[in-house]
């Protein structure tokens, strides 16, 4: 009965490992050795992996919400619904969605001439930070970046919230209070992972729009926080629960 959740946890752990490995070595090189240069094509590769695996992480968290929905709302069908075949298909779909959405970005950025200096105000290559250095019409890049971010966050969060509405309805219909606590207790780790992933993103987005005049290091620290906080906290959340 625990196998599907463990498979999703393996996916989440792999994604977190790739996200950290993509950015952390270069960050440490900047802080420790003052190595503040990166090849343009290496920057594009880092950006592709960073954004692709962030989208995959969102998809896996959505899949885990579906897992909790089936486990609590349709417990007798759990093993027949969440088969290894379905879990494999979910993993492939999460990867395909991320790669499809992010593949155009490096090619869109390659066509620009960069005349606004060689320095980005980040510890890693983030799409909008690179776009700001480009000359020419960058409207399509701006619109595409915002549209993808809104599509992923809004759509995935909407389905997660819907799953938990159905879960809450099912839990409240249970006869005993002990059964309610036990059923909802199986969701605590997943809720913690969602909060650790989405809360820093929302805070950073709000800060970019509300506190534009804040010191640059504030935005840089927030960007590092929302990138590295989930991979740090997820093993604690799920490790303790497991």
Count of structural domains within the chain: 1
**194-213 mean pLDDT:** 74
Residue 91 pLDDT > 90: yes
Q: Residue 49 — pLDDT band, cuts 50, 70, 90?
A: very high
Q: Is residue 201 part of a domain?
A: no
pTM score = 0.89
Q: Is residue 222 part of a domain?
A: no
Spell out the residues 6+ positions from residue 4 whose beta carbon is closer than 8 angstroms to its own: 67, 78, 82, 87
In sequence order, which residues have a C-beta less than 8 Å from that of residue 82 and are 6 or more positions away?
4, 67, 70
Average pLDDT over residues 166-171: 89
pLDDT-based confidence at residue 116 (cuts at 50, 70, 90): confident
Question: Within a domain: residue 83?
Answer: yes
Evaluate whether residue 75 is within a structural domain.
yes
Domain containing 129 equals 2-174
Q: How far apart are the first and last CA of the chain?
A: 14
Whether 47 is in a domain gets the answer yes
| Mean of pLDDT values over 30-51 | 91
Measured distance CA(223)–CA(132) in Å, rounded: 16
CATH number at residue 119: 1.20.1070.10
Residue 142 clears pLDDT 80, i.e. is over it: yes
Whether residue 228 is contained in a domain is answered as: no
What's the pLDDT score for residue 64? 92
Tell me, yes or no, whether 131 lies in a domain: yes
On whether residue 63 sits in a domain, the answer given is: yes
Query: What percent of the chain has pLDDT above 70?
Result: 96
> Distance (Å, rounded) from C-alpha 79 to C-alpha 85?
12
Q: What is the mean pLDDT of the chain?
A: 87
Question: Would the pLDDT of 120 be above 90?
Answer: no
Which residue has tokens 């799409």? 127
Q: Which two three-digit tokens encode residue 137? A: 């019409």
Q: Which of 64-73, 194-203, 209-218 has the lowest average pLDDT? A: 209-218
């Amino acid at each position: 009965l625990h196998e599907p959740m463990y498979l999703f946890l393996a996916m989440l752990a792999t994604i977190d490992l790739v996200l950290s490995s993509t950015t952390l070595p270069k960050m440490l090189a900047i802080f420790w050795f003052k190595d503040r240069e990166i090849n343009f094509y290496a920057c594009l590769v880092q950006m592709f992996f960073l954004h692709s695996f962030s989208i995959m992480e969102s998809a896996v968290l959505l899949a885990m919400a579906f897992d909790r929905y089936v486990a609590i709302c349709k417990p007798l069908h759990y093993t027949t619904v969440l088969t290894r075949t379905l879990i494999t298909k979910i993993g492939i779909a999460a990867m395909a969605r991320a790669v499809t959405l992010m593949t155009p970005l490096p090619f869109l950025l390659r066509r620009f001439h960069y005349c606004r200096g060689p320095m980005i105000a980040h510890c890693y290559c983030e799409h909008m930070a690179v776009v700001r250095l480009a000359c020419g019409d960058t409207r399509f890049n701006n619109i595409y970046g915002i549209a993808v971010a809104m599509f992923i966050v809004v759509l995935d969060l909407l389905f997660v919230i819907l799953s938990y509405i159905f879960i809450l309805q099912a839990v409240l219909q249970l006869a005993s209070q002990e059964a309610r606590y036990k059923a909802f207790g199986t969701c605590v780790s997943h809720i913690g992972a969602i909060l650790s992933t989405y809360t820093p993103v929302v805070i950073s987005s709000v800060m970019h729009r509300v506190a534009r005049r804040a010191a640059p290091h504030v935005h840089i620290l927030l960007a590092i926080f929302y990138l590295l906080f989930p991979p740090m906290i997820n093993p604690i959340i799920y490790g303790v629960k497991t």
